[in-house]
Amino acid sequence: MPHGIWPSGDGRRAYVGLENEDKVAAIDTLKNEVIATSPVGQAPQALVYVPDAVPAASGAANSATSNLQPLGVAGQSAQLWLAPPGAKKEQKAPTSVSLSDQGLVQVLEAAVTGLEPGKPYLLAVATEPSGTGALEPLQGFMTNPAGAAIVNAIGPIRQVVRGEDKIPRRYLVILPGTPDNHGAAVQVQRE
């Protein structure tokens, strides 16, 4: 989910905020390839590049970097991928999930693709990696004409899908339908 494409002053680089990776990518425009990434915090939505804004990171009290602080909890995020059940590991997973820490809870943002257009779906956590067992619905959504959607949810999701803090592990899944009437999982969390 790129946001805020901004060119360098000489046009040799383009900088792009990567919302689901909590990073900025630097792209060499002549080679059309990513040459570096830098962590920037939670879900960048916009980007402005200012040449020589901080010519030297001196660390002096009067420098442009003197008021910068570590990101702390806001810099902690997790990336997860969902793919059709039985998909081979070398196949690209169609759905990326970013979990950005807010302290005790995380903001989940899923860039969902690969589903049927214009249909209702359910993002849930399941007790089994196959998407079976007990389900806990997180968010219902409708796909767009391309079979995609952006899905958001808030809660202690990272702890649940990683089995942290002695919480029984569960798995993110996408199922067709609604919480009350759904089919079998069409995408499951990839290990």
| Model pLDDT for residues 46-88, shown as the tens digit of each residue | 777 676 666 665 555 555 556 566 666 666 677 889 999 988 8
End-to-end CA distance of the chain: 21
Mean pLDDT of 165-188: 90
Whole-model pTM: value is 0.65
DSSP run (H or E) holding 99: strand 95-101
Q: What tokens were used for 58? A: 């001196």
123-165 residue pLDDT tens: 999 999 999 999 999 999 999 999 999 999 988 777 677 766 6
Q: What's the pLDDT at 11?
A: 81
Q: Distance between CA 76 and CA 99 in Å, rounded?
A: 9
Q: Distance between CA 168 and CA 50 in Å, rounded?
A: 47
In the chain, list all ranges with CATH 2.60.40.200. 73-189
Identify the residue with better confidence: 156 or 25. 25
Asked if residues 24 and 38 have their Cβ atoms less than 8 Å apart, the reply is: yes
Query: What mean pLDDT value characterizes the chain?
Result: 83
Mean pLDDT of 100-123: 89
At the top level of CATH, the class of 73-189 is mainly beta
Q: Which amino acid is at 2?
A: P
Q: Distance between CA 47 and CA 78 in Å, rounded?
A: 22
